[in-house]
Amino acid sequence: MDRPPKPTLARIKKFKGCDELRHAMMHVFQDAQMGLAGHRKLVVILKSVFQKAIELNQTQYFCMWFTKLLSKVLPLKRGELSGDRIVKFTFLFVNGLVKDAAEAKRAKTEGDEDKGSDEEMDEEEDKDDEDEDDDEEQEETPVSVFISYLIKYLLRGIEAKDKLVRYRVVQLLAYMVEFVTEIHDENTFEALYTLLNGRLQDRESVIRIHAVVAMSHFQQFDFSFDGQNDGVDDEEISTAQVVKKIINSLQHDESPEVRRAALINLLRTDETVPFLLERARDTNSINRRLVYSKISRELGDLDDLGIENREYLLKWGLNDRDQSVQAAAAKMLGSFWYDSVNQDLLELIEHLNVIESPVAAQALKVFFESKPELLETIKIDESYWKNLSTEKAFLVRSFYQYCHSQNLYTLINSNFPELIELAETLEKYLHVRLKVIEENEAVVKQCQAHDEKMDTFDNEIFSLENQLARIGIDAESHRKNASNKTFDVEECETAKELLKERILRLKNNDESLDDLITDENESIIEEIMKLLGDALDEQLEMVTNDIERFKQEQSDSIAKLEELQEKYDTCVPLLERKKEAKAAALEDFSRDRAGDCVPFTKTLTELEFVIHQLLLIAQDFDFSDEIGRRKMLQIIRTTLTEDKLPENLIAIGLNVLKELSINEKDFVTMAVEIITDIRDSIDDDDEFHSAAATFDGDYDEESQQSSMKKRRVEPDLPPDDIVFRCLVITRHVLELVGETLDNHLSLSSIYTGIVNYAIQNHSNKKLYLAGLVCLNLFSIIDEKIAKIACGTLLVAMLTGSEEVREIGMKSIMDILATYGMEILDKDAKYRYSRLFYKSLLSYDKPKLQCIVAEGLCKLFLADILKPKKSPGETANNEEAEEDSDIFQHERNLFEALILIYFNPYTRTNQELQQILSFCVPVYSFSKPQHQTNLANVSGDVVYRLFTQYENESISPTVIVPQLISWCDPRNLVKVSEDEIKTSTSHMYQCVYLLQVLEQVESRNVKRCIINNLNKFYISEFLQSNTLQALNNSVKETEELFENNSNDPDFLLDKTSKKNFDAFIELVKEKLEIAKKREEDENKSLFSRSNTNSILEGLDDVKLKTEEGEVVAEDLKNESDDEQEDKDTSKASHRAEEEQDEEMHGEDAQKAANIENSLQEIDKLLDEEDNVDYGDISMAED
């Protein structure tokens, strides 16, 4: 049959039958898959065919053959060009039909308007009926019929088993959803929405991508109706629901490509902006970069973003680990944001919120790096310094620091004054600050009164929190005691009954109690059987008394628990009321004082910010001018002593003071003088009152001496606010000190006087917490204080609130990192280990969890928690037992860290996840011993995870491969190839995981372990006895599956069975290679040793012939040497055996082979009785 000619517009007009339509459509589809160039022409031809089908009343026939031809591309895999071309052609064709229909409708509407409006006014009553008729006609248009038919056809394959068909269907629907307005059937619309929503959870990421794109088109329509879900709770189908679905994919889809599709297609509204910017923390660098290069530009100007969003974007982007993301963030700042403020640098700085922003300085530095040409345009003259605003001061400081870091001294000299002028400028702004405070004295008093009120609330809340913590500790102790007494009572009652039975049976001449023996009372019966006569009566009376005593103690503990419960029930509501009262007082103050305190606070904050920027400039300034240096020093000392500066100014002021000092000792001396002057600032008033008192006639000399003596014994401390100022300065001084306390004895008086007072003042929260921080800093520079601090911190953490625990935990981690575990005694090590363990499991205290996890990771990484012994130290049994207990505690802590990493309860604690995600791989890949430590706990980790959390959403397919990767010796850094080949970490881990197969019940866990056996790195360079142990473990596992073949939990699928068999063969092969290698090494060693002995023997025979008179003496010496060598060999052999035991027998086979070779050499020597061998060395070559 001849092939029909290609359709043209002229030929299409002459079509009279269905066959001609079908052949024309086939020609069009055939040409459409060949290339994109002719698609426009083909669309015109196919539209003509469609119009002809309408004329012939064959619309359904056209729809049927269109979908039939389209179905040819549905099984084509992704990336097949012909399939992609047909999909695009289909979109162009449908789009052309819709546009033509819209133009025809618009033309018809314009024609109707030309008829005039008079007739329409007269027929208002019939208007609704006509509109309904028009709607019906609109629904029945051929275009809408075709689109509806096409979508319904595609929906039939959206849940196909073949992933390729699902992919093509969803790809086509992603294009067709754009024309969803042409669908007037609500059921079809609902089916389209529901089925596309289901594809958002498809197994294939490429399908989910197109599903997201398709769902995003629904955002453009405003609709809302209830879905029908066959009796299930109906889900509302609306635009808001569509946005929610896309946000869910944006946040939780595991594929970065799907998240990227959601990111690009999500509607930009005020509600969705936070979710869009959240992707700046995405795990995929392309998605993060997309936020800065595209999304941020689509969100409008800087004012539209908001301060908080701008902060997040800069902080995340400029600190990103990927250079491309950093570059995109820098471009956003230097190009888009800078252009949006008309390239006004001060206005850009104003939008950065420089007073509170922690990233503004870094942002301006990046800005200077991206636009170095702007540096020359910045001019700072004398008038600029006289009127510094927050933005100007920030620009000056950032400009100076950048020029200083880049050695741009020409710009510094042309824009910055001499040191003495800078000091005078600083002094002027300090005086302005004091003047503002003096002018607003009434407002200052009101603010101080408010601060004191807030401090009172804080102290009361702090006291209640500490009280609740102590109640919890006491309750736990009494609860444990009551539980123990309950056990003791039950045990004593059992013993009492057995004693009575023993007495009764002895009266009946029956001495046996064998019929009463159980696992629980076996030990009790053994003790009772040793008693006879009066001893039984005495023991019965003693047990009876013990029962009464234990019951009384149990009753006392229960009474204490009830009393503690009453205290707890009283404290909790009181605590809530105090917190509510504080919040109400703060709200009232903000409302009542909005007109005076708030503006004053804002003005003072801006002034202090300007001063802070000037101090930052002074910190790096050139102090070669001695006059300027002295002027600056005098200003800094005066302001630190006399002005009540905020903490940030105290910190930077002390930094400047250190730069001005000659050395560290000079700095500490001046700082201690400042602290002493502040502490003694109220002594002048005290001395004045004492002088006035001397004029009192009743004030005799004896009472004066008594008063002076009391002052010397119990010195009066200044008010708490003065002590707090001293503590703040002390803290920042200690942070700048690098030498030990022995080099700065003047600091000792600060510790004994101020710090000790603060840590004993539990009623003042601010003072107590500052004292704990200073105690930590003193501990770092003095070991004696550190030993005292360990006990103080432990008590504080056990009886204090969560805030105290956080400070205490940071402190003890710093102390252990500085001095090691040796600073703790045995009891303290045990108590701290328990505290660390309980804190790790405190899921209701996420911040404390993070502190403990980070600290322990650092200690494990530095091997500080590893028990240490000095060289040559021999531990007795008690020391060995102590070391064993400590090692077990540390092993439990390490295991807890790994468990928390995978624990589903910590998924919401992102900070903890980030800490462990960084620290655990660093620990694993740093040393071979670290991988061995991790391998030792791998089996327990898997067992506990899938027994304790079997109902949680944790997957072994994620956990097992991760553990194997951490222990892979090929991932180690800075190790030789030989060390990798001889590493046993994977071998031990494999054995431990194979043991889990018998213990865990989950079949998924068993299959996962079996299927991951091929990921273990088993080297043939391991010792044969080591590989033999692995081989034995594999055989035991094989027997386990064979013996439990009828158990469904031990059934393996074909893939798992194949993988297991392959691993068995691999281990056997590696074992045979290792045995052959060791045999070759032994033969080589024996051959070399034997050859050396014979050659040396021949030389000695020659020597004997020439010097026969010394043979007897040589034989005697040789005999003594042989005996000494044998003794040495035995001692060496014993030492080697001990060493082999410590190394888990890794080198035992090698040592045995060497010893056999030495024995064979000795045997050869003994056979040569009449030969003088001289001095023969037994050492290996």
pLDDT, tens only, 772-786: 999 999 999 999 999
Question: What's the Cα-to-Cα distance from 719 to each of 683, 724, 750, rounded to whole Å?
Answer: 11, 9, 16
Residue 1046 CB burial class (10 angstroms; 0-12, 13-18, ≥19): exposed
Smallest CA-to-CA distance from 868 within 441, 859, 248 is with 859
Q: What 3-state DSSP class applies to 238?
A: strand
Report the DSSP beta bridge partners of residue 60.
none
Question: What's the Cα-to-Cα distance from 381 to each of 245, 344, 371, 416, 659, rounded to whole Å?
Answer: 57, 19, 22, 8, 26
What is the pLDDT at residue 286? 95
Alpha-carbon span 891 to 454, nearest angstrom: 45
Alpha-carbon span 87 to 69, nearest angstrom: 12
Answer whether residue 1169 shows pLDDT above 80.
Answer: no
Answer whether residue 1083 shows pLDDT above 60.
Answer: yes
Q: Grade residue 708 by pLDDT with cuts at 50, 70 and 90.
A: very low
Q: Which two tokens stand for residue 253?
A: 């889809």
**Residue where the block lists tokens 């603060």:** 758
**Residue where the block lists tokens 């004292």:** 771
9-108+140-267 architecture in CATH? Alpha Horseshoe (1.25)
Domain ranges in the chain? Answer: 9-108+140-267, 443-595, 782-867+882-916
Alpha-carbon span 433 to 605, nearest angstrom: 10
Name the residue with higher pLDDT: 819 or 528. 819
Answer whether residue 618 shows pLDDT above 70.
Answer: yes
Residue partners of 379: CB distance under 8 A and separation at least 6? 415
What is the pLDDT at residue 929? 93
Answer whether residue 874 shows pLDDT above 70.
Answer: no
Mean pLDDT taken over the chain: 83
According to the 3-state scheme, what is the secondary structure of 74-133? Answer: CCCCCCCHHHHHHHHHHHHHHHHHHHHHHHHHHHHHHHHHHCCCHHHHHCHHHHHHHHHH
Answer whether residue 1104 shows pLDDT above 80.
Answer: no
Residues in the chain: 1181
Smallest CA-to-CA distance from 1026 within 1147, 1140, 927 is with 1147
Lowest mean pLDDT among 138-152, 417-431, 1145-1159: 1145-1159
What is the pLDDT at residue 790? 94
Report the DSSP beta bridge partners of residue 867.
none
Answer whether residue 694 shows pLDDT above 80.
Answer: no
Query: For the segment 267-281, what is each residue's pLDDT rounded down to a tens digit?
Result: 998 899 999 999 999
Residue 993 near residue 938 (C-beta atoms within 8 A): yes
What is the pLDDT at residue 510? 72
What is the pLDDT at residue 811? 96
Residue 395 near residue 349 (C-beta atoms within 8 A): yes
Q: What is the mean pLDDT of residues 140-168?
A: 90
Q: What 3-state DSSP class applies to 1019?
A: coil
Smallest CA-to-CA distance from 1015 within 959, 1063, 1053 is with 1063
Question: What's the Cα-to-Cα distance from 1005 to each of 234, 966, 1008, 1015, rounded to whole Å?
Answer: 37, 19, 5, 16
Alpha-carbon span 1141 to 986, nearest angstrom: 20
Query: For the segment 647-672, what is each residue's pLDDT rounded down to a tens digit?
Result: 999 999 999 999 999 999 999 999 99
The long-range contacts involving 957-963, CB below 8 angstroms and separated by at least 24 positions, are 957/1008, 959/902, 960/993, 960/1005, 960/1008, 960/1009, 960/1012, 961/1012, 961/1015, 963/934, 963/938, 963/989, 963/993
What is the pLDDT at residue 107? 79
Residue 1009 near residue 1016 (C-beta atoms within 8 A): no
Report the DSSP beta bridge partners of residue 225.
237
Answer whether residue 1026 shows pLDDT above 70.
Answer: yes
Name the residue with higher pLDDT: 910 or 967. 967
Question: What's the Cα-to-Cα distance from 592 to each of 584, 585, 603, 689, rounded to whole Å?
Answer: 12, 10, 18, 40
Alpha-carbon span 309 to 499, nearest angstrom: 78
Report the DSSP beta bridge partners of residue 784.
none
Alpha-carbon span 122 to 125, nearest angstrom: 8
Q: Which two tokens stand for residue 919?
A: 């620290």
Cite the DSSP H helix spans in 1000-1144. Answer: 1003-1011, 1024-1043, 1054-1106, 1111-1142
Q: Grade residue 599 by pLDDT with cuts at 50, 70 and 90.
A: confident
Q: Grade residue 183 by pLDDT with cuts at 50, 70 and 90.
A: confident
Q: What DSSP string describes 261-298?
A: HHHHHS---TTTHHHHHHGGG-SSHHHHHHIIIIIHHH
What is the pLDDT at residue 836? 94
What is the pLDDT at residue 1147? 47
Beta strands in 350-505 (DSSP E): none
Q: What is the mean pLDDT of residues 543-566?
A: 91
Over its C-alpha atoms, the chain yields an Rg (Å, rounded) of: 43
Residue 293 near residue 338 (C-beta atoms within 8 A): no
Answer whether residue 814 shows pLDDT above 90.
Answer: yes
Answer whether residue 615 shows pLDDT above 90.
Answer: yes
Instruction: Report which secondary-structure segment, H or E, holds 226.
Output: strand 224-226
Answer whether residue 67 shows pLDDT above 80.
Answer: yes
In CATH, 443-595 is 1.10.287:
yes
Q: Grade residue 951 by pLDDT with cuts at 50, 70 and 90.
A: low
Residue partners of 1039: CB distance under 8 A and separation at least 6? none
Q: What is the mean pLDDT of residues 863-882?
A: 57
Q: Are strands 224-226 and 236-238 parallel, antiparallel or unpaired?
A: antiparallel
∠ Cα 238 244 248 (to 5°): 150
Largest CA distance in the chain: 154
Q: Grade residue 1007 by pLDDT with cuts at 50, 70 and 90.
A: very high
Q: How far apart are the first and last CA of the chain?
A: 92
Answer whether residue 1167 shows pLDDT above 80.
Answer: no
Q: Percent of the chain at pLDDT above 90?
A: 55
Answer whether residue 103 shows pLDDT above 70.
Answer: yes
Q: What is the mean pLDDT of residues 578-600?
A: 87
Residue 857 near residue 819 (C-beta atoms within 8 A): no
Residue 1126 near residue 1162 (C-beta atoms within 8 A): yes
Query: For the segment 427-474, what is each residue's pLDDT rounded down to a tens digit?
Result: 999 999 999 999 999 999 999 999 999 999 999 999 999 999 999 889
Alpha-carbon span 414 to 425, nearest angstrom: 17
Q: For the packed helices 956-966 and 985-999, what is the interaxial angle rounded to 10 degrees?
A: 150
Q: Which two tokens stand for residue 449?
A: 């009164």
Q: Grade residue 894 by pLDDT with cuts at 50, 70 and 90.
A: very high
pTM, entire model = 0.78
What is the pLDDT at residue 627? 95
Alpha-carbon span 811 to 819, nearest angstrom: 12
Alpha-carbon span 657 to 834, nearest angstrom: 43
